[in-house]
A and B are shown apart, each in its own frame.
Chain A
Amino acid sequence: TQTVSQSDAHVTVFEGDSVELRCNYSYGGSIYLSWYIQHHGRGLQFLLKYYSGNPVVQGVNGFEAEFSKSDSSFHLRKASVHWSDSAVYFCAVMGGSNAKLTFGKGTKLSVKS
């Protein structure tokens, strides 16, 4: 069974601040991790993914995430946020040959100007 946990329901920062959105997972085997963004009233947009190789992966719009097997984590970071980054961010996990993504509960990021 694969599970994913996003500990922060809501994060508020100011424009230009850095931000880290936390994601922890549990699964016993090979794992595929990804982050998606959902703006209000829209569908999910893919940000980035990790399956193997370099644990730091770069995504769109300056986002990056770092995989840590020891911490069972895949935290999302951005060095300098913009007001347009305000959205709900979902971490997702897929284990082995499983054909389904399991999503976390989402973290709502509010960027104040």
Chain B
Amino acid sequence: ETAVFQTPNYHVTQVGNEVSFNCKQTLGHDTMYWYKQDSKKLLKIMFSYNNKQLIVNETVPRRFSPQSSDKAHLNLRIKSVEPEDSAVYLCASSYSGGVNQAPLFGEGTRLSVL
């Protein structure tokens, strides 16, 4: 099956802890993204990688760091979570720039920070 896979589906943690989310795509795409969806369903891009190189880095707190081992994997680490980090984190992938093919999304990782 070709798609975008995210783990875990859900994660509950406490303020100050470190968390890590994984994303893998088996579509052969060369660009991957992380989006954050807040409680009001608003979607905002956080990072974008093309062939393991960071190409988009929005204004995101420094405790967030993306990690890419190859073009099929893009993980997200949050060093010391804050209550406002509670959200759904969506991973997506596409071919370069996404113009010729729409980014396809995973099912998301739901983070709750207590």
CB distance from B100 to the nearest CB of A (A): 8
Q: Is B105 an interface residue (CB 8 A)?
A: yes
CB distance from B92 to the nearest CB of A (A): 8
Contact with A along B15-43 (1 / 0, CB 8 A): 00000000000000001010000001111
Question: Which B34-61 residues sit within 8 Å CB-CB of chain A?
Answer: 40-45, 48, 50, 55-56, 58
Q: In the complex, A36→B105 CA distance in Å?
A: 10
CB distance from B90 to the nearest CB of A (A): 6
Q: In the complex, A49→B103 CA distance in Å?
A: 11
Contact with A along B79-90 (1 / 0, CB 8 A): 000000000001
- B50 in contact with A46 (CB, 8 Å): no
A residues near B (Cβ < 8 Å) are: 32, 34, 36, 38, 42-46, 49, 51, 88, 90, 94, 97-103, 105-106
B residues near A (Cβ < 8 Å) are: 4, 6, 31, 33, 40-45, 48, 50, 55-56, 58, 90, 92, 96-100, 102-108
